[in-house]
Copies of this chain bind each other. A is one copy, B any other.
């Protein structure tokens, strides 16, 4: 397997460059990438140090490193390009054509994308995270009237991570309620959820996968017994069907995929915070 050094260099967090590099490089599974992040390279000295590291890695590898760069300061962007690397320059590639298309100058303001742009929106993301924490796992149900969304499903179908993801990135107020055996007694929707039926979204999962996940947590317990998992999953799905609650099977899905699916199915307009 071939080896290759990769640098993420930015005068800000470099998160955009990192995500793009991740998307592009996972398309080359036969190459063994070694990634180094050099964020906040916001002075000549720091950029020169980045150049030095890139050149050293290239000499060691015998191949020039890939460099994913996002600099909003043009001089620093020019300066880093003196390194002997293969550059994927996001802003350099796309900003000029966009300026032309929009007939507007870009502000080139440092920190607009992953900094605090709009303090109100930012505060709402933080509030959303605390809301998700407070309303996790069926707690604080009195606060459900503030929810944009309430995830329901049996234990360990992915409710908590998805709630937190939607809170952090989109500022959504997302609660979650675990379906338990008590809820299955009469096949009805738990009474406290009924006023919020339109905000409910169900998560389900393959029973064998659930058994595996639960076994890591409580091995050999009734909780992680395969028949118990199978029973809960069937009962949970029956509740979703009976009450027309949209749901997704999370077995093969990442947190991001589940989140995106929910926003799309619930027709919630997503907007990054």
B28 with A23: CB separation less than 8 A: no
**Across-interface contacts of A102 in B (CB, < 8 A):** 2, 4, 28, 31
- Contact (Cβ within 8 A) B254 A2: no
| Bound form: Cα–Cα A22–B165 in Å | 17
Chain B's closest residue to A253 (CB) is: B116
Residue A138, interface by CB 8 Å: no
CA distance A28 to B104 in the complex (A): 7
Q: Which of A202-225 contact B (CB under 8 A)?
A: 213, 216
Given A160-B133, A254-B114, decide whether A260 and B72 contact each other with a Cβ distance below 8 A: no
Q: A residues 226-273 with Cβ under 8 Å of B?
A: 252-257, 259-261, 263-264, 269-272
A212, chain B: closest CB distance, angstroms: 9
Cβ-based interface call for A130 (8 A): yes
Q: Which residues of A contact B (CB under 8 A)?
A: 2, 4, 12-16, 18-20, 22-24, 26-31, 35-37, 39-40, 66, 70, 72, 86, 88, 90-91, 93-95, 97-98, 101-102, 104, 106-109, 111-117, 122-123, 125-127, 129-130, 133, 136, 158, 160-161, 164-165, 168, 213, 216, 252-257, 259-261, 263-264, 269-272
Ordered by A's residue number, 26 sampled pairs between the chains whose C-beta atoms are within 8 Å are A12-B257, A13-B257, A16-B19, A16-B23, A20-B20, A20-B90, A23-B90, A23-B113, A27-B95, A27-B98, A27-B106, A28-B98, A28-B104, A29-B112, A36-B269, A39-B264, A40-B260, A40-B261, A66-B101, A86-B101, A88-B94, A114-B256, A115-B257, A122-B254, A123-B213, A125-B161
